[in-house]
Amino acid sequence: MKTSLIRIFVLVTITFGFVSCNDFLKEDPNGQLMSNNAFTQASDLDGAVNVLYRQVSRSTFGITQFIQAIMGDDLSTHRASNKAGIREWDLYGVSTGNDRLLWCWQDKWLVIKAANFIINGASNTPNVTEEDLNYALNQAHFWRAWAYYYLVRTFGPLPMVTSNEVDFSIGLSTVSDIFNMIVTDLQAAENLPANYTDTPRSMNGINIVANSAAAKAMLSNVYLTMAGWPLNLGTEYYEKAAAKALEVITGVENGTYKYALYENYADIHSVAENKKNKECILGIYYSNSWGDGDSSESARGCINDFPDCTGGWCDTRAEIGFWVNFPEGPRKDATYPVVTYNSGDGKAYPWWSESLPDANRYPYFGKSKFTNDGTEYDIYKSLGSQCNGWVDQTHQMIRLSEVYLWYAEALGRSGQTNAKAIELLNIVRNRADGNGVKSDASINRYSLSMTASELAEAAYNEHGWEIAGWLWGAIDCRYNDMQRMDRVQDHFNTRVQNPTYVIPGAGGITRQEPNAPTGSWSESLMYVPYPEQDVNRNAALNISLADKLNLIK
């Protein structure tokens, strides 16, 4: 017995006892790609650009990412409901506890991270052509500039992040330094091709990704902003802005760029033209085809804008003053729905009607009118019966008509006028009035004899009307125009006074804005605070709004 027992003991010990620990404890990460696998094959370049576009689409899909647009004189929000956080923006008092503040900060930094990944690593890719490499790098430069441009106007001074090394103590760069970086990035992006041919870069006859025209157009707008508040670089930069806009306009005229204005303003945001929009120089394209359960590739739409009595959330609402001053015509009708549907009784009324709930007796924007089944939205029906809150409406960031107006305004502010600028201004306005895309002395509203400042102001106003209420990713919303012209305070003071408006065509009905800011204006209100969590992580961000103003130049 003893012998067999010892034998078994030895056997068992050998069998179970001696396992090579090194092999046994080695991790075998099947299915994982290690970071040193990055940019090791040619397709990684396209892959990284895809991820970059993913970050862009996620950072533009809803209103929260562009909530600063609410501070413009075109937009406001519901007086009650769940809109306390949005009202803080509307009333120029964004607190550190604001529920929207974080997202509009975070998402843009993810774009920058995805861009920096390409900028710092793409050149390691083996066996790729110079052309493919530059395409990836310049896309990255373009979108990094886009993200910084958005952030610097909303938050002011920023950490200048150009690598993906985590840095808990990076300091704040001046607004001026950030703008210079944006310009450098966009100058690189100007080397992007003018047109693409392969899917997915080009589909339905249009460019889907950013091209050189988008870079030039954005650079023009960046110069326009640098010329105004807060850098106030003046004439030189207005001239640069005009010149850059003109490059795009000339490119369109000579056929380098295949853009054109729609005859009817209403077509711009139509369902039919959604994915082949010829006026859109830079768009972000969404897909609703994965259904409501997978909204990852779709965007928010009318549910944000439409009043709650229609079935929307009424996150945004139009300001009465802007509505009153908005020139009548097809552009106005396409911007503001002519009726408000009331689920309470199933009927539709003009917005000022007493038959609507008191809280909804305000104009609202209807540029997003997409249903889920691809048909045109019917404003005489409830929202819930037509869509679920997710749409595939393209978020148009830059349109050709905007470039026309930037050109005209920049030229005017540089103290110059010319026939071309006034012609372009008239084309935009004539189309708005329903007179087609043309400049014709018999119908033109702007005369060739207008002064430079009249030209600038007219273009400024037309741009406001052209993009009114559009906050879905526009690189230059109405608020941005007001900010660079340092006119936010004028609007603030108007809102404090809270004037009473007589509604034209409403039989003498008068209305007031329900929300009014209090206190007095300070320039520091031009920026919003950094979100709490990054202030906690990096003491350099722990500065007051007033101190931000010292970090401009």
Partner 1 sequence: MEKKPKNLMIMKISIPFLIIFLFSSMSLNGAKYDSGTRGISNDLISQQNRSVVCVVTDAQGPVVGANVMVKGTTNGSITDANGRVSLSNIPSGAILVVSFVGYLTQEISLGNKRSISVILKEDTKVLDEVVVIGYGTVRKSDLTGSISSISSEKIKNLPQGSISNILQGKAAGINITSTSGAGNMNIRVRGITSLNKSSEPLWVVDGVIGGTVGNFYDIENIEVLKDASATSIYGAQGANGVILVTTKKPKEGTKITFDARYGVKNMRKKPDLLSPYEYARAYNEVNGANSISVDDLAAYKNGTKGIDWVNLMTQTGFSQNYNLNISGGNQKTKYSISGWVGDTKGQWISNTARDYNVKATLDTNITPWLEFSGYMYDGLTKQHNSTSQGQFVDVLEYSPCMELQNESGIYNLDPYGSIGSNPYASVKAEWTDYRSSTMTMFGNLKFKIIDGLTFSTEGLYTQIHNWNRHFRSASYQPSGTSQASNYEEQYYNWRNIDNLTYDKTLGDHHLIAMGVLELTKHKFSSLNASSTGLVNEATTYWDLASAGSYSISNSFSNSSMASVFGRLIYSYKGKYLFTGTMRADAPSQFKDKYKWGYFPSIAIGWNMHEERFINKDVINQLKLRASAGTIGNCGVGAYSTYSTLSRDYVSYGTATKYWGYWPESNSNPDLHWEKTVQYDLGFDLGVLNNKVNLSADFYLKNTTDLLFQKELPDYNGGGTVWTNLGKLQNKGMEFTLNVVPFVTKNITWESTLTAAYNRNTVKDLGGDDYIIPDASRGGLYSGGLFILQVGKPVGSFYLQRWAGFNDEGANLYYNQDGTTTTGNNNDNRVITGKSVPDWLFGWNNTLTYRNWDFNVLFRATSNYDRLNISRYIETCQTGASRFISSREGYYRSWDKVSDKSHALFPSLTNANNQYVPGSTQWLEKAAFIRCQNLSVGYQIPKKLTKYAAIHLSLSAENLFVISKYKGLDPETVSEANTNTYDTTFGLDRGSFPMPTTYSFIVRLEF
Residues 192-251 that bind partner 1 (CB under 8 A): 200, 203, 208-209
Q: How many CA atoms lie within 13 A of 252 on its CB side?
A: 22
**Shortest distance, position 107 Cβ to partner 1, whole Å:** 9
Q: How many Cβ atoms from other residues are within 10 Å of residue 429's Cβ?
A: 26
Q: Is 385 in the site for partner 1 (CB under 8 A)?
A: yes
Whether residue 230 is preceded by a cis peptide bond, meaning omega within 30 degrees of 0, is yes
Query: Which residue, 451 or 533, is less far from partner 1 as judged by CB?
Result: 533
Tokens 């202030």, located at residue: 535
Q: Is 42 in the site for partner 1 (CB under 8 A)?
A: no
Q: Which of 35, 129, 197, 449 binds partner 1 (CB under 8 A)?
A: 35
Q: Which of 125, 394, 417, 435 binds partner 1 (CB under 8 A)?
A: 394
Query: Which residue, 256 or 538, is less far from partner 1 as judged by CB?
Result: 538
**Shortest distance, position 85 Cβ to partner 1, whole Å:** 7
Query: Which residue, 98 or 401, is less far from partner 1 as judged by CB?
Result: 98
Stretch that binds partner 1, among 88-96, 429-437, 463-471, 489-497 (CB under 8 A): 88-96
Using CA atoms of 498, 500, 505, 506 in order, give the dihedral in degrees to the nearest 10.
100
Stretch that binds partner 1, among 84-92, 252-260, 406-414, 495-503 (CB under 8 A): 84-92
Which residues, numbered 266-325, are part of the site for partner 1 (CB under 8 A)? 275, 285-287, 289-294, 297, 308-309, 311, 313
Q: Is 154 in the site for partner 1 (CB under 8 A)?
A: no
Distance between CA atoms of residues 351 and 119, nearest Å: 50
Query: Which residue, 204 or 453, is less far from partner 1 as judged by CB?
Result: 204
Query: Which residue, 386 or 483, is less far from partner 1 as judged by CB?
Result: 386
Query: Which residue, 135 or 285, is less far from partner 1 as judged by CB?
Result: 285
Is residue 356 within 8 A of residue 342, CB to CB? The reply is yes
For the residues of 37-74, what is the DSSP string, one character each?
GTT-STHHHHHHHHHHHHHHHHTTSSSGGGGGGGGSTT
For the residues of 190-202, what is the DSSP string, one character each?
TTS-S---STTTE
Which residues, numbered 327-366, are part of the site for partner 1 (CB under 8 A)? 342-345, 355-361
The pair phi, psi for residue 64, each rounded to 5°, is -60, -35
Stretch that binds partner 1, among 216-224, 235-243, 323-331, 368-376 (CB under 8 A): 368-376
Distance between CA atoms of residues 470 and 75, nearest Å: 9
Is residue 207 within 8 A of residue 199, CB to CB? The reply is no
Pull the structure tokens for residue 300: 């928010």
Stretch that binds partner 1, among 323-331, 385-393, 418-426, 448-456 (CB under 8 A): 385-393
Distances (CA, A) of 440 to 21, 63, 297, 456: 86, 38, 43, 20
For the residues of 386-419, what is the DSSP string, one character each?
T--SEE---EEEEEHHHHHHHHHHHHHHTT---H
The pair phi, psi for residue 223, each rounded to 5°, is -60, -40
Binding mask 91-110 for partner 1 (x = CB under 8 A): --x-xxxxx-xxx-xx--xx
Query: Which residue, 237 or 313, is less far from partner 1 as judged by CB?
Result: 313
Query: Which residue, 371 or 414, is less far from partner 1 as judged by CB?
Result: 371
According to DSSP, the residues that pair with 1 across neighbouring strands are none
Q: How many residues are present in the chain? A: 553
Q: Is 70 in the site for partner 1 (CB under 8 A)?
A: no
Q: Which of 60, 68, 71, 87 binds partner 1 (CB under 8 A)?
A: 87
H-state helical runs in 300-347:
302-305, 320-325, 330-335
Q: Which of 50, 184, 451, 453 binds partner 1 (CB under 8 A)?
A: 50
**Shortest distance, position 399 Cβ to partner 1, whole Å:** 17
Q: Which of 88, 319, 476, 481 binds partner 1 (CB under 8 A)?
A: 88
Distance between CA atoms of residues 391 and 394, nearest Å: 9
Q: Which of 127, 373, 419, 449 binds partner 1 (CB under 8 A)?
A: 373
Whether residue 200 is preceded by a cis peptide bond, meaning omega within 30 degrees of 0, is yes
β-bridge pairing 206-207 and 202-203: antiparallel
Query: Which residue, 192 or 241, is less far from partner 1 as judged by CB?
Result: 192
The pair phi, psi for residue 84, each rounded to 5°, is -55, -40
Which residues, numbered 487-546, are part of the site for partner 1 (CB under 8 A)? 514-515, 531-534, 536-538
Query: Which residue, 44 or 402, is less far from partner 1 as judged by CB?
Result: 44
Distance between CA atoms of residues 387 and 533, nearest Å: 36
Stretch that binds partner 1, among 161-169, 234-242, 263-271, 478-486 (CB under 8 A): 161-169
Q: Is 380 in the site for partner 1 (CB under 8 A)?
A: no
Query: Which residue, 235 or 542, is less far from partner 1 as judged by CB?
Result: 542
Distance between CA atoms of residues 195 and 172, nearest Å: 37
**CA neighbor of 307 nearest in space, from 123, 500, 77, 524:** 77
**Shortest distance, position 318 Cβ to partner 1, whole Å:** 17
Which residues, numbered 3-32, are part of the site for partner 1 (CB under 8 A)? 5, 8-9, 12-13, 15-17, 19, 21, 23-32
